[in-house]
Amino acid sequence: CQVTPLYGTLPSGGTVRDDTRAIRIEPATTRVGQELRNELIFAFTGGGSAAAEDRYSLRIVLSEHESAVGVEKLADVPAAYFILVRASFVLTEIATGTTVLSGSSFASASYDFSTQRFANLRAKRDAEDRAVKVISDDIRTRIAAHFATAG
């Protein structure tokens, strides 16, 4: 096996970003889905413009599950909540329609219970964003590693 910088120059001359800039991500229908999509677009383009013509399409299916933890006898309320976000993704090459890479990733974040229920609502929103950032990093690294080795 050989050790190379993931974002170094590839034998083909470019870097993995030349491929990731050409990934189109399906529009999201939920807030959490859009948060993940925005993070991935930045990861793929570094903030610059996307490739003139999309060569790949990325489809992601998200699911979220919340569970209460630290419920004590006669306490009626939990100590904290876990947010678990699961994402399965499929990267396909538009020209041939073949699946380039697929997989599933997950991440979870927790927030502490407060007697103020509005604070819990906002803390849950923040926990969702945090879990989505971890998933974005994971998917981005997998795709980059794929282009770095497939190249």
Partner 1 sequence: QVSTIQEFIDKPSDAEVASDMLVEADELIYDFDNDRVSAVGNVQIYYRGFTLEAGRVTLDRRTNRLIAEGGARLVEPTGNTIEAETINLNDSFRDGFISSLRVRTIERTCFAAEKATRSEGETTVFEDGIYTAYPECVGKDGKPPLWRIKAKKIIHKQSEKMVYYEGARLEFWGTPIAYLPFLSHPDPSVKQKSGLLVPSYVHSDELGFGVTIPYHYVIAPNMDVTFAATPLWRQGLFVQGEWRHRTLNGMYSVNAAGIRQRDPGAFSGTSGDRDFRGSVRTLGEFNINPRWKWGWDVTAVTDRGFIKDYSRENKNDDEAVSSLYLRGIGGRSYFDLSTYKFQVFQEEGTGRNGRTGKNWRNPAAFSQPWRDLQDKQPVVHPVLDYSTVFGKPVAGGELKLGANLTSLTRDTTDAYTVLKKSGGRLTRFRGVSGTFTRTTVEAEWRREIIEPTMGHVVTPFIAFQGDMFNLSNADHNVRRHTRATALTNPAVEPFSNDDAVFRAMPAVGLDYRWPFLISSDWGNQVISPRAQIVSRPDETSIGKLPNEDAQSLVFDDTTLFDRDKFSGFDRTEGGTRANVGLEYNIHAKDGGYISMLAGQSFHLAGRNSYAAPDILNTGAESGLQGDQSDYVGRIYLDTSRGLLIGARGRFDKDDLDPARTELQATAFAGPVVSTVTYAYLRQQPESGILDDREEIQNATNLRVAENWRLFGALRYDLNNRTLVSDGAGIAYDDEGFSMSLAYAQDRSRYDGDPVDRTIFFRFGLRTIGDGQVSTDTLD
Contact 115, 139 (CB under 8 A): no
26: DSSP letter: P
User: What's the min distance (Å) between Cβ of 85 and partner 1?
Assistant: 11
Beta carbon nearer to partner 1, 56 or 83: 83
User: What's the min distance (Å) between Cβ of 54 and partner 1?
Assistant: 15
Beta carbon nearer to partner 1, 93 or 108: 108
User: What's the min distance (Å) between Cβ of 2 and partner 1?
Assistant: 7
Beta carbon nearer to partner 1, 61 or 145: 145
Distances (CA, A) of 118 to 115, 123, 124: 9, 9, 10
Beta sheet of 80-93, edge-to-edge order: 23-25, 56-69, 80-93, 99-112
